[in-house]
Structure 1
Amino acid sequence: MSFSMTGYGQSSLQFGGYKIMFEVKSVNHRYCEVVLRMPRDWTGYEDMLRRKIQQHIKRGRVDVIINRERDEETGSGPVLNRSAVKSYLLAADELKDEFGLGGELTVRDILSMPGIMESKEDAVGSLPATLDDYSEVLELGLTQSLDSLLEMRAREGSYLVADVEQRLDHLKKLHSGMAELAPVVVSEYRDKLRQRLSELNDGTFPFDEHKFGLEVAIFADRCNIDEELTRLYSHFEQCRMLLNGNEPVGRKLDFLIQEMNRETNTIGSKCNNLMLVNLVLDMKAELEKIREQAANIE
């Protein structure tokens, strides 16, 4: 499957009292260029994230934006530690029973005791965020956004492949037209040359059939396009094989398109027929359209 180089993906996760948002977008580029933007204290994860991206994307400019904001629902606002309150009250009762002490604990007394108020993360028993914790979270969030990006690139890539294959079919029709016209060019030249010589011959010089045949043979050799047509057809088949493969094919397609243009130009320089010239122009226009589409393929 061939992929487009254009795509977009996003995802978000909650961790450590923050909402972490991932945004990944890619555009055309000759090589694989990764640009990361994230909070400064997370720059230590850049190499790990870059390697993760390069495992999935071989060509294109990839912009990754990672932001975080305080999550109000799972933030670190203080909450009451009910188990600690019960422990303090139980300890007060034991002091009264064992040592005969009097007095009552007030709300102010209890709230001033350590451990009574804690963050929501601690209240639900979560551990402090360590370096490894953030590494796993960032990798997970990036993977989710990359999956969305790759899905979009695959979907657009299928459209590009279908369009290029349709244009290859049209090129084959033009190729068949050229193959049919190639022999006609020589026969037309022979007939026109014979007619012109007949018109010019006023009886002062004999018509030399041998020289006439030699001239036609030289012209036939000079305008022969069999080799160019054979190479063109081979390039068409190679393009189709590349498009149906599983490897990045953008650069190879670009090379094949250059070769097809070269063969087409050679045919144009050799042909001496208006219909053949028109077919050459149509083929060059179609190749240019394919080149524009191939520039979007990874």
Structure 2
Amino acid sequence: MTGFAALKGALHPWSWSWDIRSVNARGLDMRIRVPDWVDGLEPAVRKAVSGAVARGNVTVGLRITRDADEGALAINPAGLDRALAMLAEINAAAARNGIELAGTSAADVAAMRGVVETAQTEDDTAPLLKALIADLPPLLSAFNDMRLHEGAALRDVLSAQLGEIESLVGEAETLLDARSEDQATTLKAAFARVMDSAETMDGTRIEQELALIAVKSDVREELDRLTAHVAQARSLLTGDEPRGRKLDFLMQEFNREANTLCSKAGFQPLTRIGLDLKALIDQMREQVQNIE
């Protein structure tokens, strides 16, 4: 589920940059960090992400900047009229007093207070919202392309680990005959203990005790289930639908069988295989957390 993508865009007078990243998580956890002054943007981002991603801790960020020259200057008509009237009055007074004044330029007038001021603009964010939403499909596509690339590599790792489990199960099966011989002595001793109590136990109880001894020593069922789990895991790895939760559950089943194998082994080489299986399954459980 690890992934990252970035995208830049612009629509006069705005420019922006997107980024989206994710790390593994059991479910879908979104953190959306977008400007709240663009009405309707956050719900649109959440909807798009939830439609493209099923699992992961996903963070989406957006930074928007506005062009610096947008504070345009404009003439204040009322201020201009006041300035011109004042200049006319000054010139008239100077003429009455025989004073000749230098000519006044437009720049001089513009510099007078209240003649030129910064224009106040009210932004219509609807075009910006439309442009930002149009960015989401390519952004999420690039994001998922990276995740698919990572997923392909992870699938190869898990496939190899499943192959190791198959090898260990096969090795365990080859040990069963040797284990049977080793267990024979143990079973004979257990049988003898049961028979020592035969005078105070009825026939049904003796049969139950012997059956319990046999069940506790049989590991073929666990090996068969491990083989079946490997086949199911391989099937999930080749599918197209989200499968992380199913694989996560399957890892629990793998671990259950490995634990049972260790507890029932009673044979050092088989116990070693059970421990190797548990270590390998723990590694796989960590990897499966990264699968959607």
Fold-level similarity (TM above 0.5): yes
Instruction: Give, in angstroms, the shift of residue 222 of structure 1.
Output: 2.5
Q: Does 1:260 align with 2:223?
A: no
CA contact (8 A) 1:9 1:148 kept: yes
Which structure's relative contact order is higher, taking Cα pairs within 8 Å and 6+ residues apart? 1
CA contact (8 A) 2:25 2:55 kept: yes
Structure 1: runs of 5+ lacking an equivalent: 80-106, 113-127, 196-213
- Matched residue type, 2:61: I
SS at match of 1:21: strand
Instruction: Give, in angstroms, the shift of residue 132 of structure 1.
Output: 4.2
1:45 aligns with 41
- Matched residue type, 1:240: R
Residue 227 to residue 23, structure 1, CA distance change in 2 (3 Å):
same
Instruction: Give, in angstroms, the shift of residue 145 of structure 1.
Output: 2.3
SS at match of 1:42: coil
Q: Does 1:143 align with 2:137?
A: yes
Instruction: Give, in angstroms, the shift of residue 216 of structure 1.
Output: 8.7
> 2: CA distance between counterparts of 1:192 and 1:34?
58
For residues 208-227 of structure 1, what are the alpha-carbon distances to aligned partners after superposition, in whole Å with 9 as ceiling and x for unaligned?
Answer: xxxxxx99987544311121
Structure 2: runs of 5+ lacking an equivalent: 74-104, 111-121, 190-207
> 2: CA distance between counterparts of 1:241 and 1:52?
29
> 2: CA distance between counterparts of 1:32 and 1:193?
52
Q: Does 1:157 align with 2:160?
A: no
CA contact (8 A) 2:187 2:213 kept: no
RMSD: 3.1
Q: Does 1:6 align with 2:2?
A: yes
For residues 227-267 of structure 1, what are the alpha-carbon distances to aligned partners after superposition, in whole Å with 9 as ceiling and x for unaligned?
Answer: 11111111111111111111111111111011111111111
1:294 aligns with 288
CA contact (8 A) 2:216 2:264 kept: yes
Correspondence for 2:264 among 241, 256, 270? 270
Q: How does 1:19-98 map to 2 (within 5 A)?
A: 19-71=15-67, 76=70
SS at match of 1:41: coil
Instruction: Give, in angstroms, the shift of residue 190 of structure 1.
Output: 2.2
Name segments (4+ residues, structure 1) moved above 3 Å: 75-79, 128-132, 191-195, 214-221
> 2: CA distance between counterparts of 1:193 and 1:157?
49
> 1: CA distance between counterparts of 2:40 and 2:57?
21
TM-score (structure 2 length as normaliser): 0.71
> 2: CA distance between counterparts of 1:31 and 1:217?
45
